[in-house]
C-alpha cells in the first residue's frame, strides 16, 4: 500500500529542478572553469596564457605565506566558532532567567549581526587605531604607552577573531535561547526532585537536548569563519604582509594585486576542499550525537 | 543575588552598546572636533549625515537595495521551499546526494568562480542590470534556504500529507495547500537571514553593479569610505545610515525570527 | 488564508518581473551602446577613472561641459576609487572595457593591447617631448592623451626644515643626517618621514623613489641588466636594508604598519612629519587639513657617489580609448575635448603638475617656482613602470610590510623579488 501511495514521488523531484538549474549555471560551470584556470599561468586579464600543469599547486605548497594563511584561517574558523558558541550559550543561559529587560539586552547583543561586516570592521578599527583609537585613549588616561595593536600578526589575528565573535555571537545566543526554551521544564523539575544539582542537570538534560542547536551553530560558524573576508579587509587588509590574511583575502590579493590568477584559483580549490572536508566531518560527527525527543 | 544578576545584565548591555556609542559620537561630531572618541559631542551636527548621504549617493543606493533584496527574497523563498519538499520527504539515495550537493554549494568561495561568472554574465548582457545581480544572489542563498526548509519540513508530520492525499489532492496540491502555509515561521527566518545576506552583499555586487545608478549601499559606502577616508566623521555617518534600514526592520520582525529559529533549529 | 499567500506571491512576482524588465531596459545591457554610425542618434559613453576626490571632480566638471556642448552624447562618469584596478582587470578578462578610461601609468605595459591608436588625432603633434616616450612605442602608436605629467619627488615642510636649521638634502647621507637632527631636536615627537603602511602602496612608493638613485641614475647602473634579465639580485639587498635601518633608527612613524595614507596627510599637515614620500598631490591633500601649510617639492636624493638628484616622471592623468569600443568616434571626440588648452591647463594646475601638451604653459600653482628651480634636474621614469614587469608593485609593498614586521630579512626580500620578476617576465 505504501508503494502505491508514494509511487509518483519521482515526479515530485521536478520541484528541485529550478534550484539545480541555478546551481548549474551560476556555480558548477564557473567552478569547473576555476579548476581549468588553476592549471594555467593566466594573469587574470590578458587574453594570452598557457598551461603549466601542477606548477601553481606546487608553488602554493612551497610558499610560506600559504601556511601562515592556513593557520590563520583555522584560527578564524575554529576560534570564532569556539568563542561564539561558549559565549553564546553562556549568554543564552543567563538571559533565559526571569530578568526584566532581558529582551532588550538580547536585542542589543544581536544588533551587530545585521550590520555589514565591512562596517563592523571599520567601527572596531577606530578602536584599535594607533593614533586616536579608542583603546589607546584609555591607555593614555592611565599613563600607559599607546600600543600599535594591529601591527603584530598574531595579535591582529586575535583581534580579528574577537571582532568576528562580537559580531556574530548574537546568532548563537538566539539559537540557544530558542533551544533552551524548547526543553520541557518538567525534565528539570523531575531532576531536581531526584536531587540533581545545576551542573548535573546541565550535563545530562540541557546539553544533549541542545545538540541540534549546537550542530547548526557550529557548522554555520565554521563555514563562515573559514571564509572570513570583509572584516579582515576593513581592519588590516591581511597585513602586515600576509600575517593576518585568511585564505579568502590571500586569494583576492593573489588574483588582483599579484596578477597570478592560476595561483589564486589553485588556492581557491584547495580552500574549497579544506572547508568541505572540515564542515562535512563536523556535520556528520555532530548529527550522530543528536538525541531525538 | 538579584543585584549581582542585574549588574551583570547591565554590564553586558553596556559593553555591547559601546561600539555603537562611539560610532554615533563620531558621526555627530563636527569635523573640526578632534577630541577623544569617548567623549560625546556637545555641539552635535547633522552635516556629516548630509554629506555622506549626498556624496555616497545613498538615496539611489537605498532604492537599489530594496529592489534587489525584495526580488531576491521572493525568488529564494519560492524556489527554496519548492526544492526542499521532495528533498525532505523522499530521502532516496539520489535525493540525499542532491541534498548534499546543494549544501556543499555554501562552501564554494566566491572568488574562484568570480571571473568565469563575470565573463558569462557579460556575454549574457547582464552587467549593471538588476536581473543578473538578483539571480546571482538567489543562487548563493539557496543552499542555506534549502538547509533550513528541509530541516523544518521534516518536523511536519507526514500524516498531514497522507490526509491530504486521502482527500484527493495530488502531490503538488499537498505542497501548496497544506505544507506551504505551515512553513510561515521558518519562512520568516529564511526571509530575515537571506534578506540580510543579500542586503549586505559586497563581494559580488562590487563587480556586477558598477554604475552608480545601480549600486547597492555596501558598494556605495565602500567607495565613499576609500574616497573620503580622511573625513572620519563622514565615514562614521555613512556607516550609521547604512545600518539604519536593517536595524529598523529587525526591530519589527524579531518575534517571528525567534519562533522560526526555534522550530527550524531545534526540530531539524 | 492560503489564497492570501498565493495572491501576494503572484502580485510580488508580477511587480518584480516588471521592475527587472524596466531595470534592464533602462540601464542598457552591455557597457557600450548599440553601434550606430548615425550622428543624430543619442550615444552613451562610459568613462572611468582611478582618481578620487578633488581630482575626480575636476575631470567630471569637464565632462559635464562636454555634454552641454554635445547634446547627442551622454557621458556616464565613474570614479570607483580603490576598486578601480581590480574592476578593470576583471573587465579586461571579459573584454568589456569602458569606452574611455584612465591608465594611471600603465598605458603600454598593462592596458596596451586594449587601447586604440591615437596618433592620428589633431592634438597628437603637440605632445610634450618629455612625456612622449612614456606613451608611444617604436611603431609610433600613441596609447593615451597625457593631460599632465608626473614630476615627482618627496615633498617637505618648509617651515619645519627652517626651524631645524636644515637644508634640502641632496644625497641620502645628508638625508639621514637631517633625520637624526629632527629626531633629537624634537625629542622624538616629529619624524622625518610618515608613511601610511597599512595601505601598502605608500611603502611601494618609497621603494619606487629610492630604487632609481640606487640602481639607475648613477653612471654605473643596472638599467640594462634589469631590462635584459641578467640583473644580479644580490645588488638589490641594500634597498630593503636601508628601509629597515631607517625604521629601526626611529626616523619613520612608529605606527607605520597600521597607519593609512590619510594619516600621513594629517601628520604632514600638523607638522608631525617633515618629509612626505608621495608626490606633489600630497601637498594638496595636506592643505585640505591645514591651509596654512608651507610645502615645497624636492628631487629624490642620490645614493651613489658622484650622482645627482632626480625626479621620477611619467604619465599621470590620462585618457585612453578602448580599441573595441562601439562608439569609438564619440570617444575620440571626448578625449580631444580634454586636449583643449584651457582644460589641460586647469587640470594640470589642480594636480600641481606640468601639462602633457607643449603648447600649454606650465601653471602648477605654487609649485611652478620649484619646477622652474629644478628645470635642469633629470627626470627618469618611475622605476617600477620600466624596470619591473607588470604586477610587481604588490610584491614591493607586501614585502616592505613584512620586513618591518620582522617576517623576512633583506636577502629574502630580494629573493622574493627575483622569483616574481622571473615569473611575470616570462608571461609576456
Cα–Cα–Cα angle for C40, C46, C48, rounded to 5 degrees? 150
- Give me the phi and psi of B91, to 5 degrees please: -90, 65
Q: Which chain B residues are closer than 8 Å to A263 by Cβ?
A: none
Contacts across the A-B interface (CB distance below 8 Å): 244
For residue C164, how many other CB atoms are within 10 A of its CB? 15
Tell me the pLDDT tens digit for each residue of C219-232.
888 888 888 888 99
Q: Among B16, B106, B261, select the one facing A178 at the smallest CB separation.
A: B261
How is chain C split into domains, by residue range?
A: 43-148+316-356, 152-313+383-426
Domain interval for residue B64? 46-267
Residues B56 and B6 in one domain: no
Query: Which of C101, C99, C143 has the alpha carbon at shortest distance from C118?
Result: C143
Please count the other Cβ atoms lying within 10 Å of the Cβ belonging to residue C174.
15
- CATH code assigned at B53: 1.10.3720.10
- Contact between A260 and C391 using a beta-carbon 8 Å cutoff: yes
C264 burial type by CB count under 10 A (0-12 exposed, 13-18 middle, 19+ buried) = buried
Asked whether residue B152 falls in the same domain as residue B244, the answer is yes
| DSSP states along A12-81 | HGGGGHHHHHHHIIIIIHHHHHHHHHTTB---SSSS---B-TTHHHHHHHH-HHHHHHHHHHHIIIIIHH
pLDDT (tens digit per residue) in B189-240: 788 788 888 988 887 887 788 777 888 888 888 777 776 666 778 878 888 8
Q: Looking at the structure, do residues B148 and B229 belong to the same domain, yes or no?
A: yes
Does one domain contain both B73 and B203?
yes
Of B115, B129, B223, the CB nearest to C93: B115
Q: What is the rounded average pLDDT for all residues in chain C?
A: 83
% of chain A exceeding 70 in pLDDT: 95
Residue A240 to residue C93, Cβ atoms within 8 A? no
Is the same domain home to B116 and B26? no
Is the pLDDT at A3 greater than 70, yes or no?
Answer: no
| B4 and B100 share one domain | no
Instruction: Supply the mean pLDDT for chain A.
Output: 83
Q: Look at the block and give the residue holding cell 617656482.
A: C369
**Does the beta-carbon distance from B83 to A18 stay under 8 Å?**
yes
How many other C-beta atoms are found inside a 10 Å radius of the C-beta of residue B79? 24
Grid coordinates representing B188 are 520568516
Nearest CA in chain B to C30: B125
Does residue B119 share a domain with residue B214?
yes
**Domain C152-313+383-426 is classified in which CATH homologous superfamily?**
Periplasmic binding protein-like II (3.40.190.10)
What cell does B125 get? 548582457
pLDDT tens-digit series, residues C279-298:
888 888 888 788 899 999 99
Contact (CB<8Å) B115/A44 = yes
Burial C289-314 (b: 16+ CB within 10 A, else e): beeebebbbbbbbbbeeebebbbbbb
Q: Are both B148 and B249 inside the same structural domain? A: yes
Q: How many domains does chain B have?
A: 2
- Decide if C320 contacts C107 (C-beta within 8 A): yes
CA distance B113 to chain A (A): 5
Domain identity same for B102 and B63: yes
Higher pLDDT, B246 or C403: C403
Residues B24 and B142 in one domain: no
Q: Which helix (H) or strand (E) element contains residue C202? A: helix C201-211
| B116 shares a domain with B10 | no
Q: Is ipTM over 0.85?
A: no
DSSP-derived pairing of the beta strands C145-146 and C318-321: antiparallel
Q: Where are the alpha helices (DSSP H) in C221-357?
A: 223-227, 238-248, 261-269, 281-289, 328-338, 341-351
Measured from the Cβ of residue B5, the count of other Cβ atoms closer than 10 Å reads 13
Task: Mark out chain B residues that contact chain C at CB-CB < 8 A.
Answer: 67, 70-71, 74-75, 78, 114-115, 118-119, 122-123, 125-131, 134, 176-177, 180-181, 206-207, 210-214, 222-223, 226-230
Averaged pLDDT, B74-92: 88
- Which stretches in chain C have pLDDT values below 50? 1-39, 428
Per-residue pLDDT at A104 exceeds 60? yes
How far apart CA C380 and CA C392 sit, in angstroms, is: 19
How far is residue B39's CA from residue B22's CA, in Å, rounded to a whole number?
A: 8
CATH of domain C43-148+316-356: 3.40.190.10
When the pLDDT of each residue in chain B is averaged and rounded to a whole number, the result is 81
Q: Using CA atoms, how far apart are residues C197 and C258, in angstroms rounded to an integer?
A: 6
CB contact under 8 A, B129 and C29: yes
CB atoms within 10 A of CB C408: 20
Question: Which residue, among A67, A155, A259, would best test binding to C if mutated, counting the most C CBs under 10 Å from its CB?
Answer: A259
Could you check whether C43-148+316-356 and C152-313+383-426 share the same CATH topology? yes
pTM of the model: 0.78
What does the alpha-carbon distance between residue C223 and residue A51 come to, in Å, rounded to a whole number? 32
pLDDT value, residue C243: 93
**pLDDT band for position A266 (50/70/90)?**
confident
pLDDT score recorded for residue B166? 81
Interface touch A101/B9, C-beta < 8 Å: yes
C-alpha C126/C-alpha C123 separation (Å) is 5
Which three three-digit cell numbers place residue C386?
620600466
Tens of pLDDT, residue by residue over B252-267, are: 777 766 665 555 555 5
Could you tell me if B73 and B9 lie in one domain? no
Beta strands in chain A (DSSP E): none
Other Cβ atoms less than 10 A from the Cβ of C140: the count is 9
- Hey, what domains does chain A have and what are their CATH numbers? 52-289 (1.10.3720.10)
Query: Given C27, C83, C265, which is nearest B214 (Cβ)?
Result: C27
pLDDT at residue C177, rounded to an integer: 93
Phi then psi for residue B267, to 5 deg, are -85, -15
Backbone angles phi, psi at C275, to 5 degrees: -115, 150
Q: Which residue has the higher pLDDT, A271 or B259?
A: A271
Residue A253 at interface with chain C, using a CB cutoff of 8 Å? yes
pLDDT at C428: 47
pLDDT of residue B256: 65
- For residues A263-277, b (16+ Cβ closer than 10 Å) or e, as one string? bbbbbbbbbbebbbe
Determine the distance from the C-alpha atom of residue B13 to the mean position of all C-alpha atoms in its chain, rounded to a whole number.
24
Q: Which of B152, B181, B150, B147 is nearest to B164 (CA)?
A: B181
Amino acid at each position: 500500500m505504501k508503494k502505491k501511495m508514494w509511487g509518483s514521488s519521482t515526479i515530485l523531484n521536478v520541484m528541485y529542478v529550478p534550484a539545480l538549474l541555478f546551481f548549474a549555471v551560476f556555480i558548477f560551470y564557473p567552478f569547473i572553469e576555476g579548476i581549468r584556470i588553476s592549471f594555467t599561468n593566466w594573469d587574470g586579464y590578458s587574453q594570452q596564457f598557457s598551461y603549466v600543469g601542477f606548477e601553481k599547486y606546487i608553488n602554493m605548497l612551497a610558499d610560506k605565506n600559504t601556511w601562515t594563511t592556513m593557520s590563520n584561517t583555522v584560527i578564524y574558523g575554529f576560534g570564532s566558532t569556539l568563542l561564539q558558541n561558549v559565549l553564546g550559550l553562556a549568554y543564552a543561559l543567563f538571559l533565559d532567567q526571569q530578568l526584566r529587560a532581558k529582551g532588550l539586552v538580547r536585542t542589543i547583543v544581536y544588533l551587530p549581526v545585521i550590520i555589514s561586516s565591512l562596517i563592523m570592521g571599520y567601527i572596531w578599527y577606530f578602536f584599535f587605531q594607533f593614533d586616536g583609537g579608542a583603546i589607546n585613549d584609555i591607555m593614555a588616561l592611565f599613563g600607559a604607552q599607546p600600543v600599535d595593536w594591529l601591527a603584530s600578526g598574531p595579535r591582529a589575528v586575535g583581534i580579528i577573531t574577537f571582532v568576528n565573535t562580537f559580531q556574530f555571537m548574537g546568532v548563537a545566543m538566539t539559537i540557544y535561547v530558542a533551544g533552551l526554551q524548547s526543553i520541557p521544564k518538567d525534565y528539570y523539575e523531575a531532576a531536581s526532585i531526584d536531587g540533581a544539582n545545576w551542573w548535573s542537570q546541565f550535563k545530562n538534560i540541557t546539553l544533549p537536548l541542545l545538540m541540534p542547536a549546537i550542530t547548526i551553530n557550529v557548522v554555520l560558524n565554521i563555514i563562515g569563519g573559514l571564509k572570513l573576508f570583509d572584516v579582515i579587509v576593513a581592519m588590516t587588509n591581511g597585513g602586515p604582509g600576509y600575517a593576518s590574511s585568511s585564505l579568502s583575502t590571500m586569494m583576492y590579493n593573489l588574483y588582483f594585486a599579484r596578477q597570478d590568477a592560476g595561483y589564486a584559483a589553485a588556492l581557491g580549490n584547495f580552500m574549497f576542499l579544506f572547508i568541505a572536508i572540515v564542515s562535512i566531518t563536523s556535520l556528520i560527527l555532530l548529527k550522530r550525537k543528536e538525541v531525538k525527543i | 543575588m538579584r543585584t549581582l544578576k542585574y549588574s551583570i545584565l547591565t554590564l553586558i548591555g553596556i559593553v555591547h552598546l559601546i561600539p555603537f556609542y562611539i560610532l554615533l559620537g563620531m558621526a555627530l561630531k563636527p569635523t573640526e572636533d578632534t577630541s577623544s572618541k569617548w567623549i560625546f559631542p556637545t555641539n552635535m551636527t547633522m552635516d556629516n549625515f548630509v554629506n555622506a548621504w549626498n556624496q555616497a549617493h545613498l538615496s539611489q543606493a537605498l532604492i537599489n537595495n530594496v529592489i534587489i533584496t525584495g526580488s531576491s527574497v521572493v525568488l529564494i523563498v519560492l524556489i527554496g521551499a519548492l526544492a526542499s519538499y521532495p528533498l525532505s520527504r523522499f530521502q532516496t539515495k539520489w535525493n540525499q546526494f542532491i541534498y548534499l550537493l546543494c549544501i556543499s554549494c555554501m562552501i564554494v568561495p566566491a572568488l574562484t568562480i568570480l571571473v568565469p561568472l563575470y565573463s558569462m554574465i557579460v556575454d549574457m548582457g547582464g552587467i549593471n542590470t538588476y536581473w543578473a545581480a538578483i539571480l546571482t544572489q538567489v543562487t548563493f542563498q539557496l543552499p542555506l534556504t534549502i538547509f533550513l526548509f528541509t530541516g523544518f519540513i521534516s518536523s511536519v508530520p507526514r500524516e498531514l500529507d497522507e490526509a491530504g492525499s486521502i482527500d484527493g489532492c495530488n502531490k503538488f496540491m499537498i505542497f501548496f495547500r497544506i505544507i506551504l502555509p505551515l512553513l510561515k515561521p521558518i519562512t520568516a527566518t529564511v526571509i530575515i537571514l537571506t534578506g540580510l545576506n543579500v542586503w549586505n552583499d559586497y563581494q559580488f555586487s562590487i563587480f556586477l553593479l558598477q554604475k552608480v545608478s545601480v549600486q547597492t549601499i555596501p558598494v556605495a559606502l565602500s567607495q565613499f569610505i576609500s574616497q573620503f577616508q580622511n573625513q572620519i566623521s563622514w565615514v562614521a555617518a555613512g556607516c550609521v545610515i547604512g545600518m539604519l534600514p536593517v536595524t529598523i526592520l529587525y526591530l519589527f520582525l524579531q518575534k517571528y525570527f525567534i519562533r522560526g529559529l526555534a522550530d527550524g533549529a531545534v526540530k531539524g | 488564508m492560503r489564497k492570501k499567500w498565493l495572491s501576494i506571491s503572484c502580485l510580488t512576482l508580477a511587480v518584480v518581473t516588471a521592475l527587472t524588465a524596466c531595470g534592464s531596459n533602462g540601464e542598457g545591457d552591455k557597457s557600450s551602446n548599440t553601434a550606430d554610425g548615425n550622428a543624430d542618434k543619442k550615444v552613451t559613453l562610459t568613462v572611468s577613472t582611478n582618481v578620487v576626490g578633488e581630482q575626480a571632480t575636476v575631470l567630471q566638471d569637464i565632462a559635464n561641459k562636454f555634454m552641454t556642448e554635445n547634446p547627442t552624447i551622454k557621458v556616464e562618469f565613474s570614479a570607483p576609487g580603490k576598486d578601480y584596478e581590480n574592476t578593470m582587470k576583471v573587465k579586461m578578462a571579459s573584454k568589456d572595457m569602458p569606452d574611455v578610461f584612465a591608465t594611471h601609468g600603465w598605458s603600454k605595459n598593462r592596458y596596451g593591447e586594449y587601447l586604440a591608436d591615437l596618433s592620428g588625432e589633431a592634438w597628437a603633434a603637440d605632445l610634450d617631448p618629455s612625456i612622449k616616450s612614456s606613451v608611444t612605442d617604436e611603431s609610433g602608436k600613441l596609447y593615451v592623451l597625457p593631460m599632465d605629467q608626473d614630476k615627482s619627488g618627496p615633498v617637505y615642510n618648509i617651515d619645519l626644515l627652517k626651524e631645524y636649521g636644515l637644508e634640502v638634502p641632496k644625497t641620502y647621507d645628508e638625508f639621514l643626517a637631517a633625520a637624526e637632527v629632527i629626531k633629537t631636536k624634537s625629542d622624538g615627537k616629529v619624524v622625518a618621514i610618515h608613511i601610511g603602511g597599512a595601505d601598502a602602496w605608500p611603502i611601494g612608493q618609497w621603494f619606487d623613489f629610492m630604487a632609481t638613485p640606487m640602481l639607475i641614475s648613477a653612471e654605473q647602473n643596472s638599467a640594462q641588466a634589469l631590462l635584459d634579465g641578467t640583473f644580479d639580485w644580490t645588488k638589490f639587498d641594500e634597498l630593503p636594508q636601508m628601509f629597515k635601518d631607517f625604521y629601526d633608527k626611529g626616523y619613520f612613524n612608529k605606527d607605520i604598519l597600521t597607519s593609512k595614507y590619510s594619516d600621513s596627510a594629517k601628520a604632514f599637515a600638523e607638522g608631525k612629519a617633515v618629509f612626505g614620500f608621495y608626490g606633489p598631490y600630497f601637498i594638496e591633500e595636506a592643505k585640505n587639513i591645514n591651509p596654512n601649510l608651507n610645502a615645497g617639492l624636492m628631487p629624490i636624493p642620490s645614493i651613489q657617489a658622484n650622482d645627482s638628484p632626480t625626479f621620477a616622471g611619467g604619465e599621470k592623468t590620462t585618457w585612453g580609448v578602448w580599441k573595441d569600443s562601439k562608439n569609438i568616434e564619440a570617444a575620440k571626440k571626448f578625449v580631444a575635448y580634454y586636449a583643449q588648452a584651457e582644460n589641460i591647463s586647469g587640470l594640470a594646475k589642480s594636480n600641481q603638475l606640468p601639462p602633457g601638451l607643449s603648447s600649454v604653459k606650465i601653471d602648477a600653482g605654487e609649485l611652478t617656482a620649484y619646477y622652474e628651480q629644478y628645470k635642469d634636474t633629470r627626470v627618469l621614469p618611475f622605476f617600477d613602470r620600466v624596470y619591473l614587469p607588470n604586477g610587481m608593485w604588490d610584491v614591493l609593498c607586501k614585502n616592505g610590510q613584512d620586513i618591518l614586521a620582522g617576517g623576512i630579512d633583506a636577502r629574502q626580500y630580494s629573493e622574493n623579488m627575483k622569483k616574481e620578476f622571473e615569473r611575470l617576465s616570462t608571461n609576456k
